[in-house]
Structure 1
Amino acid sequence: MDTLQRLFQSSRLVRAMPNTPALIGQGMTGLVAPIQLDAADRAIASALALAVGQCLWVENDEQLNAVTALSGSGPAYGFYLIEAMEQAALTLGLSAAQGRQLAVSTLHGAALLASESAEATVLLRERVTSTGGTTQAAIQVLEARCVQQAFVQAIQAAASRSREISAEQGIC
């Protein structure tokens, strides 16, 4: 942000990181601004972001790199999971269209449930995971393959690349 302030000789700047669900009014936009930006200008920036979904103000460029990794790239992670579920559907005798419908509807519902629940995500998952049941069998495979750790590492790699791109562009 300091580089942009020097370049534009102004502190009336906001960096924003939207994501593609903004195309349908369901986006998430991360915002960061110099501490000198007044409340009125912050309100304008918030209003712009809220026009295409939700927004989250962060304190600095490094946190915006985290937003980029989690939310800017995040839709691709969801699409990647949908792809995997579609492929699994085919192996189980369902059509690609059925797999897509099931995957999209299930993940949409899970996301809505998580957004409306005050409970920790782990508790929501555990409620679906009956001892000795089908979900537990699936989770055991995912855990054996370290899928959660792979996602954490992937998001860390995205944040690292965001830092690199910002440095290459002279943003921070």
Structure 2
Amino acid sequence: MSAADEILDIVDEHDRVVGRSPRGAVYAGGLRHRCVFVQARDAEGRIFVHRRTPEKLVFPSLYDMFVGGVVGAGESYDDAALREAEEELGVRGLPRPRFLFKFLYDDGGGRTWWSAVYEVRCEADVQPQAEEVAWHAFLPEEEVRRRLDEWEWVPDGLAAYERLVGDAGPDRS
């Protein structure tokens, strides 16, 4: 099954399930669905940052300071956060990511999803998925902030990061 065939829950403005559809149809139709964002930090508190591959369906080749993705039909946010973090980082046995907050992302142009934001400590050597991650590094928070104006970031991840920093202050280590 291709990524475009994965079945997702369609949700309303209150995050209530109102239907199901394949991911490709969800993206093409601008249907509201669910996503998870997991900020992974290493033992030194540095943030995992990566550049998405050019083949990604959404936001190809852009930088991101979260790992994550869509929540499958019937899947909980918590389960999706752990699954996506382990898949994208290429590790097993991560602690369950800690839920921080949820918000409705809407770019005003047909891209809208409920976004649950988490954090996790990853002390294992990462082996990111080659089909998902073109480049990666663990960067100090100061460097991430410095790069905000230099690199092109995924807009939903940037929105999550701005809320995270605004809610929690600059030092989350």
TM-score bracket, normalised by the shorter chain, equals under 0.3
Please report the TM-score for the alignment, with normalisation by the length of structure 2: 0.24
More helix by share: 1
Q: Which has the larger radius of gyration?
A: 1
More relative contact order, 1 or 2 (CA 8 Å, 6+ apart):
2
Please report the TM-score for the alignment, with normalisation by the length of structure 1: 0.24
